[in-house]
Amino acid sequence: MKQFKHLIKPYIIWAAILIVVPLILIVLYAFTSDGNEVLTLHFTWANFGKFLETTYLSVILKSFRLGILTTLICLVCGYPLAYIISKYSEKVQSFLILMVTIPMWINMLLRTYAWMNILSDNGLVNNLLKMLGISPITMMYTDFSVIVGLVCNFMPFMIIPIHTSLSKMDKSLIEAANDLGANPFQTFWKVTWKLSMPGVVNGVMMVFLLSISTFVIPKLLGGGQYMLIGNLIESQFISVGDWNFGSAISLILAVIILIFMSLMKKMDKQDD
Amino acid sequence: MKRKNTIFSKLYVVLCLAFFYLPILVTMIFSFNSSKSLTRFTGFSLRWYGELINNMEISKAVYVSVSIAILATIISTVLGTITAIGLSKSRKVLKELVLTINNFPILNPEIVTAIGLMLLFSSLGMTKGYLTMLLAHIAFCTPYVITSVYPKVRSLDPNLANAAMDLGATPYQALTKVIVPMIKEGIFAGALLAFTMSFDDFVISYFVSGNGVKNISIVVYNMTKRINPTINALSTIVIVVIVVVLLLGNLVLPKLQASAAKKMKPRTRRIVAAVTAVIFVIVMGKWTIVSQGSHILRVYNAGEYMDLSLLDKFEKEYNCTVVYETFESNEMMYTKLASGETYDVLVPSDYMIERLIKEEYLQAIDWKKIPNKKNLLPEVKNKDYDPGNRYSCPYFWGTVGILYNKNVVSQEDLDKEGWNILKDEKYKGNLYMYDSERDSFMIALKALGYSMNTKDLDEIQEAYDWLIDQRDTMDPIYAGDDVIDNMISGNKAMAVVYSGDASYIISENQDLDYYTPQQGTNTWYDAMVITKDCSEVDLAHEFINFMLDDENALSNTEEVGYTSTVKSAFEEMKNGTYEGIDSYIPKIDNPKNEIFGYQKPKIKQKFAELWTKVKAK
Amino acid sequence: MSNKLIELKNLTKNFDDQQVLRGINLDIHENEFLTLLGPSGCGKTTTLRIIAGFEEPSGGEVLFNGIEISKLPPYKREINTVFQKYALFPHLNVMDNIGFGLNLKKVDKSVIEQKVKRMLKMVGLEGFEKRDVTLLSGGQQQRVAIARALVNEPKVLLLDEPLGALDAKIRKQMQIELKKIQREVGITFIYVTHDQEEALSMSDTVVVMNNGEIQQIGSPTDIYNEPENRFVAGFIGESNIIEGTMIKDFLVEFDGFRFECVDKGFEDNEAIEVVLRPEDLDIVEPDQAKIRGTVRNITFKGVHYEILIETELRTYMVHTTDYAAVGREVGLKFGPEDIHVMCRMGGY
């Protein structure tokens, strides 16, 4: 079987060039200034120092707040859905999971545009309210619209791993808990919830990762003032043109995410 | 313990699905709308499906999305599968290392991966386009394939391959006849995941593509300016295709397999081979078409800033191919240019032209080759950004002003307060600012009575305070081009817009009018320039000349709504289509009006930073 | 036996269109070790699950101490279950698994600890409190599962094929231990198995089920020695089943001969079936027996030989310690007490 171990070689080269080198480049840019030229490297901490200004720190905080809120909503709304789905017969289950998956195939931007039309001041919801004689509500360019967009786009990423762990769960464990005197509520907290933790952790990681780094949805649904880390990075590269600062923010974001991920993984292991 | 789901839980499922499908449903319904509105259904029509067929940009994007998704899926599935098999036989240290590295693109935020790849391609000096997009897609798809195949490989009996080889199979046969069939579920799941990721990707494609290569997401993103129901028609088709494929996959396939289990196999294999071959032929065909066209002109223009039928006309008249690409902002254009991409003709704004001239990106225009220059309005010629028009030929021009709802905002307030009306608390929460640091600082500086080209840090600080103050008291929305749709729908009472957009918006919503304050505003000129490394100099000149043609200029200004720099077209519009819409006629007689000048990087950076701070509350 | 603890009255159960229980009537007494025995799909597990409360019967009653409980949820029943694959909670250690039920009842921590320790001692797992249940062997998991159920001091312990996943040697050992535990705690055990040897060696009462119906209820010896029908006879041990006629009390006719027997109470000339256990048959010289045949095959089985003897009408199986060469003409001898007469039933 030793022959097969050579099969890994192409990917080692590939990964070195397309995964490792880009990361090194980001680090390099983050620690240099004025340097799109390789020959005139000036190492500096300035890009990180700049980040400590309150404005940028508040961007990070806002991103975190939004990321946590979105993740929480996805969890609170997605868990019951995954739970209910897992109670159906296998046929219905796979149908419902398919229904949850299909929207992920439709272009995210298109769905976001549709939300713009639904939520705008003269949009579908407000038109409906007007017909009912209720005064219109401003929904666009608020936390609400951004969160609706994020939740709609990312909730399937929460539902699917939770459903997977719920449906994999040995049903006799539930019966065992019942048998030992746990009422349905106790059974849920002491057994079902605990055993679905791997799915929950996976879902939380996915949704948090996606929502903390997104820039398109906040830009479209939150307007230009909705500045998150993703938007900050994008603007550094696309409009400001400060690639060094942009790389530094990317690096910070990547490090934060990696720390968060390893924390979640540890939590998951301790739970076992 | 099979507890039946209650009515309540069924209702919950329905509600959740309704939430997921609401935007999709809206998209589908409005693809059949007879008008352009995305909020009012005015009648059933197939108009947008017709336009879809004729829209070259979208059909090219569909082709790019689909072909990249298929190629990236095939390549990443093969690469990921052999790597997963190799991994299971590797030493522990190597295995851990590869798996860790493999996790980076999955765990890293997409935008970080995108930026890393962008930096890689630009440091390697690769021209961004189809190949870079494909490489990037393979790069982010393969890790997903590996993570779904590797567990299956690991759970295999390690003796399986040995048994096969013991029975006389070569290692290759052991691989294809024993191992691969055993892990095909994992491979299939990985391939499906790869296809989904690739087909839907926006962020990575956005950063690594260029030279006219766009996938559906990028086209959609560039459409913010004027949301076009054509794209709704496209997504309706995509939805229908997906549903049909899924139905076929879930209902018909199992039946087929059951009925003709073994006999089908060689045939299906042949079909798969044939399909793959056809795809490759198409891909290669497209490649050769692109590279064969003897003369290619690369034009880089702002989004929704040209009557695209003119491009077809030009291609036919001059027997060439135009690769037309659009940018969101001058800065984005500059970034692309600076990252080493090549274009022949650009259409930047005044200050950017000044910068490009200074940084020697441009070559002088040979005016002898442009007989139509006689058509130009005298007002647009010989401006400060390019004295004597050595490098640039004016394309559109206009001002920045306030678009307001006549029923809400009084003319009196406007005259009295000028730009400061944007701080009038009567209109709190009822206005859009334009998400651009230059235009916003221009407003603040003008309101304070300073020059918008000031280099005085104190004045800049004052302007910054003005903007912060405005932000805190007025709750403005810093909108991008979505302001156009919003104002047409009458969502807010005021917006800062370019005069050209104002003309178009007013033509769609008669309640609005356009105002340029007495404190002065920005008069701007967008002009066509030829890059230094232009490889089709003659064709570039012909293109500029073509755009100055009376008839072409008219159809261009009619389509876009911006003010033409060509005299006949300008007059025609002024007295015709846009009669009474005075935003079409830029008021340039105000001595306080200014043109943006070149900013030193330090000042520019300062503005950018301050603007970021204004937005980041 | 003491008083009735559980009464099943005309219990039926349908899954979709399929009837899996067709009217079960059964009394279960205090301190009884009762086994539901039958092939898979016979309805024994369903019966158990109805007693536990995991299924609701489609018809009939379940009385517990005389009170109808078929609608009572499992967590309100004084019944605990040991599951087929133990169903130990993977996220809890041994201590917390066993203490699960007591924790729910808000029993004091120190009391729980004490009780758990006592249980662990009883099942022979002292010092295992902090172990991860997923890392225990099958036998150890089994003991934890039993301890987890018993610590709640239920009136009845239900065991659903608890030894099915263990290997033969541990199975034997656990059988003995289970019986010991039952005697120690002195409560009712309801045990489900398809293994007749397990059923016979542990139970006070064996209930043989097939196709959703009870075939016979009785002590292990009754079930073995006096099977009531062909199914029970065939399912329990190996047997030669021969159709015959009951001429009158104490006289039966089969294979063309009349034999004296100990059975009575049938109608004269009733068509019946006769069970002859292979170990009850002796091989003798042909002239010493009525039934004669030729040795066709002989297999060494360790304790005995299994010999197939072909007669005119059928092939008999004989278990004996004597060797008989293939081809030898022999006679088959058995006494009146070796003949078990049962009603003839269709179908099986």
Residues of B in contact with A106 (CB under 8 A): 24, 27, 235, 238-239, 242
Residues of A in contact with C156 (CB under 8 A): none
Q: How many CB atoms lie within 10 A of CB B296?
A: 18
The tens digit of pLDDT for each residue in B504-514 reads 889 888 899 99
**pLDDT greater than 50 at residue C206:** yes
Q: What pLDDT does C3 receive?
A: 83
Q: What pLDDT does B224 receive?
A: 59
User: Would you say residue C320 lies in a domain?
Assistant: yes
Residues C61 and C183 in one domain: yes
pTM of the predicted structure, to 2 decimals? 0.83
pLDDT averaged over every residue in chain A: 86
Alpha carbons B503 and B518: distance in angstroms, whole number: 20
**In a mutagenesis test of the C interface, which of A178, A180, A270 is the best target, namely the one with the most C β-carbons within 10 Å?**
A180
pLDDT, average across residues B65-92: 90
Q: Do A225 and B116 make contact, defined as CB atoms within 8 angstroms?
A: no
Residues C60 and C133 in one domain: yes
Alpha carbons B262 and C127: distance in angstroms, whole number: 58
CB B503 within 8 A of CB B517: no
Q: What pLDDT does B289 receive?
A: 47
Range of lowest pLDDT (B577-591, C9-23, C192-206): B577-591
Q: What pLDDT does C348 receive?
A: 41
Identify the band that residue B291 occupies on the pLDDT scale cut at 50, 70 and 90.
very low
Residues C311 and C217 in one domain: no
Task: Using CB atoms, pick whichever of A6, A100, A213 lies closest to residue B86.
Answer: A6
The DSSP bridge pattern shows strands C4-15 and C59-64 to be: antiparallel
Residue C190's closest CA among C65, C63, C34, C85?
C34
**pLDDT greater than 50 at residue B116:** yes
Identify the band that residue B264 occupies on the pLDDT scale cut at 50, 70 and 90.
very low
Q: What pLDDT does B162 receive?
A: 78
Query: What DSSP string describes B141-185?
Result: HHHHHHHHHHHHHHTS-THHHHHHHHTT--HHHIIIIIIHHHTHH
Alpha carbons B28 and B232: distance in angstroms, whole number: 6
**Chains that contact A by 3+ CB pairs under 8 Å?**
B, C
Range of lowest pLDDT (A113-117, B245-249, C73-77, C255-259): B245-249
The tens digit of pLDDT for each residue in C147-165 reads 999 999 999 999 999 888 7
Residues of B in contact with A9 (CB under 8 A): 86
Alpha carbons B234 and B211: distance in angstroms, whole number: 23
Bridge partners, C253 (sequence order) = C245, C258
**pLDDT greater than 60 at residue B587:** yes
Residues of C in contact with A176 (CB under 8 A): 81, 83, 87-89
pLDDT, average across residues B474-499: 87
Task: Using CB atoms, pick whichever of B86, B216, B243 lies closest to residue A5.
Answer: B86
CB A119 within 8 A of CB A221: yes
The tens digit of pLDDT for each residue in A26-42 reads 898 888 876 555 556 67
Domain count, chain C: 2
Identify the band that residue B273 occupies on the pLDDT scale cut at 50, 70 and 90.
low
Residues of A in contact with C84 (CB under 8 A): 172
**In a mutagenesis test of the B interface, which of A6, A9, A11 is the best target, namely the one with the most B β-carbons within 10 Å?**
A11
How many CB pairs below 8 Å do chains A and B form together? Answer: 306
Q: Do C100 and A195 make contact, defined as CB atoms within 8 angstroms?
A: no
Q: What pLDDT does B4 receive?
A: 55
Q: What pLDDT does B254 receive?
A: 60
Q: What pLDDT does B262 receive?
A: 47
Identify the band that residue B293 occupies on the pLDDT scale cut at 50, 70 and 90.
low
The tens digit of pLDDT for each residue in B27-45 reads 888 889 887 777 777 888 8
Query: What DSSP string describes C253-289?
Result: EETTEEEE-S---SPTTEEEEEEE-GGG-EEE-GGG-
**Encoded amino acid at C138, one letter:** G
Instruction: Reduce the DSSP state of residue C127 to 3 states and report it.
Output: coil
Residues C169 and C244 in one domain: no
Alpha carbons A83 and A184: distance in angstroms, whole number: 13
- Tokens representing B501 are 């957009």
Task: Identify the domain boundary among C201, C225, C249.
Answer: C225
Task: Identify the domain boundary among C167, C193, C225.
Answer: C225
Q: What pLDDT does B259 receive?
A: 58
Distance in Å, alpha carbon of B445 to nearest chain A alpha carbon? 20
User: Would you say residue C348 lies in a domain?
Assistant: no
Range of lowest pLDDT (B431-445, B475-489, B529-543): B475-489
Alpha carbons A43 and A32: distance in angstroms, whole number: 4
Residues C313 and C206 in one domain: no
Task: Using CB atoms, pick whichever of A118, A120, A233 lies closest to residue B22.
Answer: A118
C73–A contact, CB cutoff 8 A: yes
A142–B contact, CB cutoff 8 A: no
Identify the band that residue B269 occupies on the pLDDT scale cut at 50, 70 and 90.
low
Residues C114 and C144 in one domain: yes
The tens digit of pLDDT for each residue in B152-183 reads 888 888 777 778 777 877 888 888 888 888 88
% of chain B residues with pLDDT over 70? 90
- Tokens representing B38 are 């995305």
Q: What pLDDT does B241 receive?
A: 83
User: Would you say residue C204 lies in a domain?
Assistant: yes
Residues C169 and C252 in one domain: no
pLDDT, average across residues C48-65: 92
Residue B112: HSE in the Cβ half-sphere, 13 Å Cα cutoff: 30
**Which of B68-77, B285-294, B473-482 holds the top average pLDDT?**
B68-77
Task: Using CB atoms, pick whichever of A172, A182, A197 lies closest to residue C87.
Answer: A172
Alpha carbons B396 and B349: distance in angstroms, whole number: 9
User: Would you say residue C232 lies in a domain?
Assistant: no
Residues C174 and C266 in one domain: no
**pLDDT greater than 80 at residue A155:** yes
> Counting runs of H as helices and runs of E as strands, what totals does chain C give?
9, 20
Q: What pLDDT does B336 receive?
A: 76
Q: CA–CA distance from B577 to each of A44, B226, B514, B580 (Å)?
A: 57, 19, 17, 9
**pLDDT greater than 50 at residue B288:** no
Q: What pLDDT does A102 receive?
A: 84
C149–A contact, CB cutoff 8 A: yes
Identify the band that residue C347 occupies on the pLDDT scale cut at 50, 70 and 90.
very low
Q: What pLDDT does B1 receive?
A: 40
Estimate the share of chain A in helix, then strand, then coil, as percent rounded to the nearest 5: 80, 0, 20
Distance in Å, alpha carbon of C217 to nearest chain A alpha carbon? 27
CB C29 within 8 A of CB C5: yes
Identify the band that residue A2 occupies on the pLDDT scale cut at 50, 70 and 90.
low
CB B501 within 8 A of CB B312: no
Q: What pLDDT does B255 receive?
A: 61
The tens digit of pLDDT for each residue in B38-70 reads 777 788 888 888 888 777 777 788 888 889 999
- Residues contacting residue B368 through CB under 8 Å, at least 6 positions apart: none
User: Would you say residue C300 lies in a domain?
Assistant: yes
- Residues contacting residue B475 through CB under 8 Å, at least 6 positions apart: B428, B429
In degrees and rounded to multiples of 5, residue C255 shows phi and psi of 50, 30
In degrees and rounded to multiples of 5, residue C30 shows phi and psi of -65, 145
**pLDDT greater than 50 at residue B2:** no
Q: Do A179 and C90 make contact, defined as CB atoms within 8 angstroms?
A: no
pLDDT, average across residues B92-98: 87
Task: Identify the domain boundary among C198, C225, C252.
Answer: C225
A222–B contact, CB cutoff 8 A: no
Q: What H or E segment, with its residue span, contains residue C13?
A: strand C4-15
Alpha carbons A261 and B104: distance in angstroms, whole number: 11
Alpha carbons C2 and B601: distance in angstroms, whole number: 99
Range of lowest pLDDT (A239-243, B429-433, C336-340): A239-243
The tens digit of pLDDT for each residue in C92-104 reads 999 999 999 999 8
**In a mutagenesis test of the A interface, which of B9, B16, B329, B432 is the best target, namely the one with the most A β-carbons within 10 Å?**
B16
CB B62 within 8 A of CB B216: yes
Return the CATH number at C247: 2.40.50.140
**In a mutagenesis test of the C interface, which of A171, A179, A271 is the best target, namely the one with the most C β-carbons within 10 Å?**
A179
Burial letters C286-303, b for 16+ CB under 10 A, else e: eeebebbbebeebeeeee
Q: Which domain holds residue C31?
A: 4-225
The tens digit of pLDDT for each residue in A57-72 reads 888 888 999 999 999 9
**pLDDT greater than 90 at residue B216:** no
Return the CATH number at C59: 3.40.50.300
Burial letters B21-36, b for 16+ CB under 10 A, else e: bbbbebbbbbbbbeeb
Identify the band that residue B286 occupies on the pLDDT scale cut at 50, 70 and 90.
low
Alpha carbons B545 and A70: distance in angstroms, whole number: 53
Residues of B in contact with A121 (CB under 8 A): 486, 489-492
Residues C146 and C267 in one domain: no
Identify the band that residue A128 occupies on the pLDDT scale cut at 50, 70 and 90.
confident
Alpha carbons B443 and B449: distance in angstroms, whole number: 10
Q: What pLDDT does B251 receive?
A: 67
Q: What pLDDT does B529 receive?
A: 95
Q: What H or E segment, with its residue span, contains residue A55?
A: helix A54-87
Residues C79 and C207 in one domain: yes
Identify the band that residue B376 occupies on the pLDDT scale cut at 50, 70 and 90.
very high
Q: Do A175 and C54 make contact, defined as CB atoms within 8 angstroms?
A: yes
Alpha carbons B497 and B518: distance in angstroms, whole number: 16
Residues C138 and C266 in one domain: no
Residues C299 and C242 in one domain: yes
Range of lowest pLDDT (B206-215, B365-374, B463-472, C48-57): B206-215
Region of B130 please: left (phi>0), alpha (psi -120 to 50) or beta.
alpha
**pLDDT greater than 60 at residue B275:** yes
- Give Dmax over CA atoms of chain C in angstroms: 78
Q: Do B491 and A121 make contact, defined as CB atoms within 8 angstroms?
A: yes
C104–A contact, CB cutoff 8 A: yes
Q: What pLDDT does B588 receive?
A: 80
pLDDT averaged over every residue in chain B: 85
Residues of B in contact with A215 (CB under 8 A): 111, 203
Q: Which long-range contacts (CB under 8 A, 24 or more apart) does C151-155 make?
A: C151/C98, C151/C99, C151/C101, C151/C102, C151/C115, C151/C116, C151/C119, C152/A180, C152/A181, C152/C80, C152/C101, C152/C102, C154/C78, C154/C79, C154/C80, C154/C187, C155/C5, C155/C64, C155/C78, C155/C79, C155/C187, C155/C188
Angle formed at CA A227 by CA B480 and CA B205, multiple of 5 degrees: 70
**Chains that contact C by 3+ CB pairs under 8 Å?**
A
Q: Do A178 and C54 make contact, defined as CB atoms within 8 angstroms?
A: yes
Residue B204's closest CA among C268, A153, A22?
A22
Task: Using CB atoms, pick whichever of A175, A186, A187 lies closest to residue C87.
Answer: A175
Q: What pLDDT does B292 receive?
A: 45
User: Would you say residue C285 lies in a domain?
Assistant: yes
User: Would you say residue C230 lies in a domain?
Assistant: no
**pLDDT greater than 70 at residue B271:** no
- Tokens representing C298 are 């002989």
Question: Look-up: residue for tokens 């790069």?
Answer: B139
Range of lowest pLDDT (A233-237, B288-292, C73-77, C236-240): B288-292
**pLDDT greater than 80 at residue B380:** yes
Query: What DSSP string describes B200-262?
Result: H--HHHHHH--TT---HHHHHHHTTTT--HHHHHHHHHHHHHHHHHHHIIIIIHHHHHHHTTT
Distance in Å, alpha carbon of B163 to nearest chain A alpha carbon? 10
Alpha carbons B202 and B218: distance in angstroms, whole number: 6
Q: CA–CA distance from B57 to each of A58, B218, B222 (Å)?
A: 40, 11, 11
User: Would you say residue C51 lies in a domain?
Assistant: yes
A49–B contact, CB cutoff 8 A: no
Q: What pLDDT does A272 receive?
A: 46
Q: Do A173 and C87 make contact, defined as CB atoms within 8 angstroms?
A: yes
Residues of A in contact with B216 (CB under 8 A): 107
**pLDDT greater than 60 at residue B125:** yes
Burial letters B552-585, b for 16+ CB under 10 A, else e: bbbebbbbbbbbbbbbebbebbbeeebeebbbbb
pLDDT averaged over every residue in chain C: 90
**pLDDT greater than 90 at residue B604:** no
The DSSP bridge pattern shows strands C205-210 and C33-37 to be: parallel
